[in-house]
Amino acid sequence: MNNIIYTLHDFLLHTESIVFIIMGISLLSMVGFWLFLTARDEDKNIQ
Amino acid sequence: MSEDAAVDRKSIMTPFNICAGIIVIAGLIVTFIRFTQGLGAATNLSEYNPWGIWIGFDLLVGVALAAGGYVTSAAVYLFGMKRFHSAVRPAILTGFLGYLFVVVALHYDLGRPWRLPYPFIFGYGTTSMLFEVGLCVALYLTVLFLEFSTAPMEWLGYKRTRNLVHRLTLVLTIFGVVLSTLHQSSLGALFLIAPSKLHPLWYSPYLPTYFFVSSIIAGLSMVIFEGTLAHRAFHHKMDEAHKAEHNPLTLGFGKAASLVLAGYFSIKVIGIAAGNHWHLLATGYGFWFLVELMGFIALPCLLYAMGVREQNLKLIRFTAAWTVLGIIINRLNVSIIAFNWQLPSSERYFPHWMEFTISIFIVTLIVLAYRFIVTRMPILYEHPEYKDSH
Amino acid sequence: MSISRRKFLGWLGAAGAGTTIGSKANAASNKVFKGYPDSMGVLHDATLCVGCRECEAACNKVNELSAPDKPFTDLTVLDVKRRTKNEAFTVVNRYDGIPESKGPVFRKTQCNHCLEPACASACFVRAFKKTESGAVVWDESVCVGCRYCMIACPFDIPTYEYDNPLTPKVLKCTMCAPRIEKGLLPGCVESCPKEALTYGKREDLIKIARDRISKYPDRYVDHIYGEHEMGGTSWLYLSSVPFEKIALREDLGITPAPSLTSGALGVVPMVVGLWPVLLTGVYAMSKRKEKIATEERETAVAEAIDKTTAEGEVKLSNAMAKAEKDKEKAIEKAVKTALEEAEKQAEEEAAAKTEAEAAKADQVEPDKSAGKDQAEKIDEAQTEEADEAPKTKDAKTNDEEES
Ligand code: SF4
Ligand code: SF4
């Protein structure tokens, strides 16, 4: 029973909660990824 | 510094200080009434009108006008307009104070203000636009605090920490722009849930875009406007770089504001077309909408353009103030004036005098905090020890 | 809280193990949400309502609300339009002068218990919940008091305790959820003497309403208000007059409330995902432009230096050559003059010799002084040339500074 979502509201609550978590992770990992991407540039682009 | 203090003491009974003192005392009295007798005693809020000027002005206008922080830091650090560097600190400061006092003002409006962190601890009402607004404002306030914190650290001499934070500038700037984009637009999106209550000329699926774009305009205009005021009051506090960069900044930001206003004008017109609301322009609300559209979007767009072409700084400064007024009108239109437009006038909302008092009180606190900080910390000038590191 | 968190994790599990659950996961990602099956509702037939206010009295009693100024038997309160209040979760209004109806029409107002409640969608602490029974209930323990639910409700239902400074509550009809749990009827339904209110499964209520409309087509407007409005409500209405005339807005549309904001919400992750990419790109570009500009400036400076150095060298060598020539000329000239002078002297000497052979004593002396003069003259010329050389060097340094 618990696995069935009956209302659009509950569905959005479910998906948005996951989306918010992913957003947080992706925002933070962007910083790390940028550092990874530019680490071997002769002159470091990031301040 | 000690000289300044002496001057301050001598001139403590200036008209400004007397006014500020009266406002602060009145504000404290109303604060007491609000928190001991409830919202009902201090406001004209009702079942039909749950949001008054504490949301419409203090939150919506406050956040829009505090956009100068992200606009300026993005222009300088991301878009490479290094020549306006001296404008970043004051803009960040006003942004930070703006947001800080938005949160302070929110405590007056919330029924149970001590539960403000609940959405992020227990609630997770992720479908609510207000959740989005709250989350982004909280995060952005933190970002602004970090960006601003270099000034007091220079003032107090925490060199190590200051340099550590300074190295985060780029990341903070990008986070700031992302978060600002989100909550500025989400403030508009707050009203998407109520198509039946907001007048169709203002209600549009583009509301979030309107709010975001107009926040850029507000930010640019506020930087010019504040700069003008700061030049009058704190000229002696400014270093040569700040003075020298001020006029080019006014011209540059005026040009940018004119351009964004032109875009904003066109998307506003597209909004009428998309909703097919042309016929509503002939009504009373339509007239008011046209006043906003022509008088506070098209007109400042042209005035800015003329000011920039003729290098007329006075005109640009006037237009900045006019545009700020236009932003205030727009936010009040969406949240109060055109909201509940279908209700009979007896059910409509007009603010209680105590609501005005608190709003003025909050603005006064911002001005006082600004004055306290710029007279002490390296805002309008560069700290001699940290000149090279910019 | 713990229940909903467990549920949340349960859904996460469902999303992760999609294939094993198959049809259930399918249901979870369905595009159409029909609400809880077998959820309950109330049908209000306005044609049967006589405005006796019994339901108001019952609501007041079961919810233990404060007693109103005028008793519920006083029907003069119907002379003015009323709305839900903190002390009245439901009110009955009288609508006069409707051309479609001979007499006045009465209609009961209360929370419609939407299938997709706007209040729940708006609340940022999930204080509102659509329960399986159909009731939309509010949880005091989390409410922050932002009143966004009141902004959102298209029916203007929730009210707020503005005069309570410490624990203000959002108040509205609960569809008597506590009574339903005990197997009782909602207070208003139980008290209605005219059976204008019918409690039952929403699906059944819709069938009943359809039946009534088809049996008495003259009596009813052919529409069940609430079947689709705002995505459907658990309370349904039948009327003999257009619903607008009894203050039920017909312009609300059928879009469920969550859909109104889901578009804007959907843009949020796009901004979070792409803005940093865009902004970092802009930053990298302006940085690169700056770097190129600096490099160009540096090369320009270097070139300028090279050029000035080269020019300086050319100038110098020219000057040297010139100086050399001048020097030669000067030497030549000096030598010539010296020779001429010497010749002259020699001639003079010869003349003197021939004139006076007798005066031979100081002959050598004038000869020596003439030689000395010549040497001095050559020296002077050389110093002048040497002076010119540093001047060229100065010019070179000036050029460097300018560029
Ligand atoms: S009628 Fe209003 S309060 Fe009741 S469930 Fe619908 S949105 Fe919520
Ligand atoms: S007032 Fe309370 S119930 Fe209503 S939206 Fe705000 S937190 Fe939720």
Q: Where are the domains of chain B?
A: 41-379
- The 10 Å Cβ neighbour count of residue C147 is 26
The answer to whether the Cβ–Cβ distance between B127 and A16 falls below 8 Å is: yes
Q: For residue C31, list chain A residues with Cβ-Cβ distance below 8 A.
A: none
Nearest CA to ligand 1 atom 2: C153
Q: Indicate the Cα dihedral angle B219, B220, B221, B225, nearest 10°.
A: 90
B125 CA closest ligand 2 atom index: 8
What pLDDT is attached to residue B294? 95
Mutation target vs A (from B171, B179, B180, B186; most A CBs, 10 A cutoff)? B171
pLDDT in tens, B32-58: 999 999 999 999 999 999 999 999 999
Q: How far apart are CA B128 and CA B344, in angstroms?
A: 29
Q: For residue A3, list chain C residues with Cβ-Cβ distance below 8 A.
A: 10-11, 13-14, 21, 24-25, 27-28
The answer to whether C106 and C46 are in contact (CB under 8 A) is: yes
Burial class (CB in 10 A: 0-12, 13-18, 19+), B370: buried
Q: Indicate the Cα dihedral angle B345, B348, B352, B353, nearest 10°.
A: -50
Please choose, from the candidates B60, B11, B34, B143, the residue with its C-alpha nearest in 3D space to the C-alpha of residue B361: B34
For B313, the enclosing helix (H) or strand (E) is helix B313-332
Percentage above 90 pLDDT, chain B: 71
**Closest Cβ–Cβ partner in A9, A17, A22 for C116:** A9
Looking at all shown ligands, the one closest to residue C257's CA atom is: 1
3-state secondary structure of C94: strand
What pLDDT is attached to residue C354? 59
The answer to whether C192 and C45 are in contact (CB under 8 A) is: no
- The 10 Å Cβ neighbour count of residue B323 is 29
Residue with tokens 């602004």: B144
3-state secondary structure of B43: coil
Residue A19 touches partner C, C-beta closer than 8 Å: yes
What pLDDT is attached to residue C314? 79
Q: How far is the CA of B344 from the centre of ligand 2 (A)?
A: 26
Please choose, from the candidates B169, C298, B166, the residue with its C-alpha nearest in 3D space to the C-alpha of residue C290: C298
What pLDDT is attached to residue B280? 93
Q: Fill in the amino acid letter for C229.
A: E
Nearest CA to ligand 1 atom 6: C114
Q: What is the b/e burial string over B159-191, where b = at least 16 CB atoms within 10 angstroms of the residue's CB?
A: eeebeebbebbbbbbbbbbbbbbbbbbbbbbbb
pLDDT in tens, C318-374: 777 777 777 777 777 776 776 777 666 666 666 655 555 555 544 444 454 444 555
Per-residue pLDDT 10s for chain B (390 aa) are: 444 444 555 567 788 889 999 999 999 999 999 999 999 999 999 999 999 999 999 999 999 999 999 999 999 999 988 888 888 989 999 999 999 999 999 999 999 999 998 988 888 889 999 999 999 999 999 999 999 988 888 888 888 888 888 888 888 999 999 999 999 999 999 999 999 999 999 999 999 999 999 999 999 999 999 988 888 888 888 888 888 888 889 999 999 999 999 999 999 999 999 999 999 999 999 999 999 999 999 999 999 999 999 999 999 999 999 999 999 999 999 999 999 999 998 889 999 999 999 999 999 999 999 999 988 888 888 877 776 444
Which residue in chain C is spatially nearest to A14 when comparing CA positions?
Answer: C8
3-state secondary structure of C319: helix
Which residue in chain B is spatially nearest to C266 when comparing CA positions?
Answer: B127
Q: Which residues of chain C have pLDDT under 50?
A: 1-29, 361-366, 368-371, 381, 384-403
In sequence order, which residues have a C-beta less than 8 Å from that of residue B210 and are 6 or more positions away?
B188, B204, B264, B267, B268, B271
The CATH superfamily label for domain B41-379 reads: Formate dehydrogenase/DMSO reductase domain (1.20.1630.10)
Report the DSSP beta bridge partners of residue C237: C44, C225
Q: How far apart are CA C352 and CA C282, in angstroms?
A: 99
**Closest Cβ–Cβ partner in A17, A31, A47 for B124:** A17
Would the ipTM clear 0.85, i.e. be above it? yes
The answer to whether B218 and B73 are in contact (CB under 8 A) is: no
Q: How far apart are CA B261 and CA B20, in angstroms?
A: 34
What's the predicted TM-score (pTM) here? 0.82
Please choose, from the candidates B368, B364, B369, B358, the residue with its C-alpha nearest in 3D space to the C-alpha of residue B57: B358
In sequence order, which residues have a C-beta less than 8 Å from that of residue C240 and are 6 or more positions away?
C46, C47, C100, C101, C105, C219, C220, C221
Question: How far apart are the CA of C109 and the nearest CA of chain B, in angstroms?
Answer: 14
How many C-alpha atoms does C298 have within 13 Å on its Cβ side?
Answer: 6
Burial class (CB in 10 A: 0-12, 13-18, 19+), B12: exposed
How many C-alpha atoms does C86 have within 13 Å on its Cβ side?
Answer: 12
Please choose, from the candidates C248, C243, C249, C246, the residue with its C-alpha nearest in 3D space to the C-alpha of residue C96: C246
Q: Fill in the amino acid letter for C97.
A: G
Q: How many helices (H) and strands (E) does chain C have?
A: 11, 9
Q: How far apart are CA B56 and CA B105, in angstroms?
A: 11
What pLDDT is attached to residue C346? 66
In sequence order, which residues have a C-beta less than 8 Å from that of residue C276 and are 6 or more positions away?
A27, A30, B174, B178
Percent of chain B that is helix, strand, coil (3-state, to 5): 80, 0, 20
Question: How far apart are the CA of A16 and the nearest CA of chain C, in angstroms?
Answer: 8
Chains that touch C (3 or more CB pairs under 8 A): A, B
The answer to whether C116 and C230 are in contact (CB under 8 A) is: yes
How many C-alpha atoms does B121 have within 13 Å on its Cβ side?
Answer: 9
- The 10 Å Cβ neighbour count of residue B90 is 24
Burial class (CB in 10 A: 0-12, 13-18, 19+), B276: exposed
Supply B135's token pair: 């989350």
What pLDDT is attached to residue B390? 46
Q: How far apart are CA C14 and CA C25, in angstroms?
A: 6
Q: Which residues of chain A have pLDDT under 50?
A: 1, 44-47
* Strand boundaries in B2-78, DSSP class E: none
Q: For residue B128, list chain C residues with Cβ-Cβ distance below 8 A.
A: 121-124, 148, 261
